[in-house]
């Protein structure tokens, strides 16, 4: 249903452009020009460690850009989606997304590409916000019926796994300023911890390059070593681990595990029980508050075991497990597989699918962390999304590199413009 007083969307011109993402690979940007001259844009990010059941990103074959171009997707938008958009008026973003599903004709966006659908859908969401005279975050909150809030930023400061060339199997080690009183203070804490971590790594002779999300990629392989570095960096920056700044991890275990529960890292195999013991020890010994994709997406027995054993102490987040799918979130909740979900719009391919996933998580009392992808653009839609959805958690990489800080900087802008917005994790239902 359209929001009260919502003007219908009439697209005068739909254009698409191949641009580069933060890995130097092509992606697509859409521009929808409205009758009043307003241009609503949306760009598609791209993951490297993807779940099996994500909506399908379509790329060209051939040799251009290592076979990774999106000229076909640009053509699909220009020749098929654009004319279909221009031919009709739309009452809601759901109507636009329905058209995208119709044009696609598959149940995974393998036809038009989730990179086409998500960029069009994000642009349409911005167009509806503009037509309603509101900021995009406010439009999200009005559409979902949620209480907006500024999220705790999760800064990924040590990168491994598929995002870095180092031997570290676990993909992400994040610092989360849970004790900050404003978003601006949280950004400052994140930047200070990042700077002190750089100092520690330099002092230890381990300062190497950075990974895809801007975190350092030191030549280490043990999770303990990464966590020791983080705790030391938090203290060096003058903060108290856990109460001021907590830690979140995304091992992204699809990258080193199997459906049958065998996990290979640090030069040997680890079985399910050993992994459960390892996580229990890390949660006990370090200020870890959130643990994402600790097991392979098909190793459901392990997911159920960790949620049962550690779910009261830490948030267990399903990313590759749930792939921003309301259906999979419902199933996972019923089976006790995780108690929180990651929300990435391009995993489902539309803003409507993203809203459905957020509603599903909320209906089960699950936490929801909104997330960037490892391949990003300057598009900061997820910043507005997380404020409007009011889930209180965002991960967008290190507090460095333009495509990562674009999201944090947008949140600083939102906070500066509306100081009544609360900051912090959403109270659990």
Ligand X SMILES: C=C(OP(=O)(O)O)C(=O)O
Contact, 386 vs 351, CB < 8 A? no
Q: What is the DSSP letter of 269?
A: E
Neighbouring C-beta atoms of residue 179, cutoff 10 Å: 17
Residues 275-314 that bind Mg ion (CB under 5 A): 293
Q: What token pair was written down for 210?
A: 């950075």
Q: Is 7 a catalytic residue?
A: no
- b or e along 346-355 (b: 16 or more beta carbons within 10 Å of the residue's beta carbon)? bbbbbbbbbb
CA distances from 172 to 64, 252, 387, 400 (A): 31, 8, 23, 15
> Smallest distance, Å, CB 239 to ligand X?
24
DSSP H or E segment with residue 93: helix 93-104
| Site map (CB under 5 A) of Mg ion, residues 162-191, x = contact | ------------------------------
Q: How far is the CB of 398 from ligand X (least distance, A)?
A: 12
Minimal distance in Å, beta carbon 321 to ligand X?
Answer: 11
CB-nearer residue toward ligand X: 192 or 320: 320
Q: Strands 393-395 and 152-159: what pairing?
A: parallel
Stretch that binds ligand X, among 47-55, 86-94, 217-225, 298-306 (CB under 6 A): 47-55
Contact 349, 121 (CB under 8 A): yes
Question: Among residues 3 and 48, whose Cβ is nearest to ligand X?
Answer: 48
Residue 59 binding: pick among Mg ion, ligand X, none (C-beta 5-8 Å cut-off by kind): none
Q: Toward ligand X, which CB reaches closer, 90 or 155?
A: 155
**String of DSSP letters for 375-428:** B--S--HHHHHHHHHT--EEE---S-SHHHHHHHHHHHHHHHH-TTS-BSPPPP
- Looking at 295-303, 307-315, 352-360, 370-378, which segment touches ligand X (CB under 6 A)? 370-378
Q: Does 250 bind ligand X (CB under 6 A)?
A: yes
Among 27, 29, 32, 47, binds ligand X (CB under 6 A): 47
Tokens of 101: 């599903």
- Shortest distance in whole angstroms from residue 248 CB to Mg ion: 11
Which of 212, 122, 118 shows the shortest CA–CA distance to 164? 212
Residue 250 in contact with Mg ion, rule: CB under 5 A: yes
Cα 332 from Cα 365, distance rounded (Å): 12
Q: Based on the residue annotation, tell me whether 213 is a catalytic residue of this protein.
A: yes
Q: Which range touches Mg ion (CB under 5 A), out of 71-79, 109-117, 246-254, 412-420?
A: 246-254
Q: Which is nearer to ligand X, 244 or 403 (CB)?
A: 403
Minimum CB distance to ligand X smaller for 237 or for 358: 358
DSSP 80: I
Q: Which stretch binds ligand X (CB under 6 A): 17-25, 46-54, 398-406, 418-426?
A: 46-54
* Residues tagged in the binding site annotation for (2R)-2-phosphoglycerate: 171, 344, 373-374, 395
Q: Contact positions toward ligand X, by CB under 6 A? A: 47-50, 250, 252, 319, 371, 373-374
Which residues are designated catalytic? 213, 344
């Amino acid at each position: 249903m359209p929001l009260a007083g919502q003007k219908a969307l009439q697209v005068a011109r739909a254009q698409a452009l191949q641009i580069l993402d933060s890995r130097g690979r092509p992606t697509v940007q859409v521009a929808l020009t409205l009758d009043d001259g307003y241009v609503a844009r949306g760009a598609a990010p791209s993951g490297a460690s993807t779940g099996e059941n994500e909506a399908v990103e379509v790329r060209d074959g051939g040799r251009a850009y290592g076979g990774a171009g999106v000229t076909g997707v640009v053509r699909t938008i220009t020749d098929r989606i654009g004319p279909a958009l221009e031919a009709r008026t739309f009452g809601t973003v759901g109507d636009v997304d329905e058209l995208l599903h119709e044009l696609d004709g598959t149940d995974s966006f393998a036809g038009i590409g989730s990179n086409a659908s998500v960029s069009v859908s994000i642009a349409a969401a911005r167009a509806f916000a503009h037509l309603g005279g509101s900021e995009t975050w406010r439009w999200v909150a009005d559409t979902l019926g949620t209480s907006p809030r500024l999220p705790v930023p999760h800064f990924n400061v040590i990168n491994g796994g598929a995002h870095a060339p180092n031997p570290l199997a676990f993909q992400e080690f994040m610092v989360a300023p849970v004790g900050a009183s404003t978003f601006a203070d949280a950004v400052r804490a994140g930047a200070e911890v990042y700077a002190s971590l750089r100092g520690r790594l330099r002092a230890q002779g381990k300062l190497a390059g950075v990974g895809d999300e801007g975190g350092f990629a030191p030549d280490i392989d043990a999770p303990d070593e990464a966590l020791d570095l983080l705790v030391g960096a938090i203290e060096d920056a003058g903060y108290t681990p856990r109460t001021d700044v907590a830690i979140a991890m995304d091992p992204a275990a699809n990258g080193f595990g199997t459906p049958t529960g065998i996990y290979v890292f640090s030069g040997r195999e680890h079985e399910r029980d050993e992994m459960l013991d390892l996580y229990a020890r890390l949660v006990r010994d370090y200020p870890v508050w959130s643990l994402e994709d600790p097991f392979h997406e098909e190793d459901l027995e392990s997911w159920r075991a960790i949620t049962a054993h550690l779910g009261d102490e830490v948030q267990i987040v399903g990313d590759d497990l749930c792939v921003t799918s309301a259906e999979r979130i419902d199933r996972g909740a019923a089976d006790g597989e995780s108690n929180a979900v990651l929300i990435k719009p391009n995993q489902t391919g539309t803003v409507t699918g993203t809203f459905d996933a957020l509603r599903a998580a909320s209906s089960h009392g699950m936490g929801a962390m909104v997330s960037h992808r490892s391949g990003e653009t300057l598009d900061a839609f997820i910043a507005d999304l997380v404020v409007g959805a009011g889930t209180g958690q965002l991960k967008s990489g290190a507090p460095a590199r333009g495509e990562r800080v674009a999201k944090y900087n947008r949140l600083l802008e939102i906070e500066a413009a509306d100081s009544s917005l609360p900051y912090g994790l959403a109270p659990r239902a």
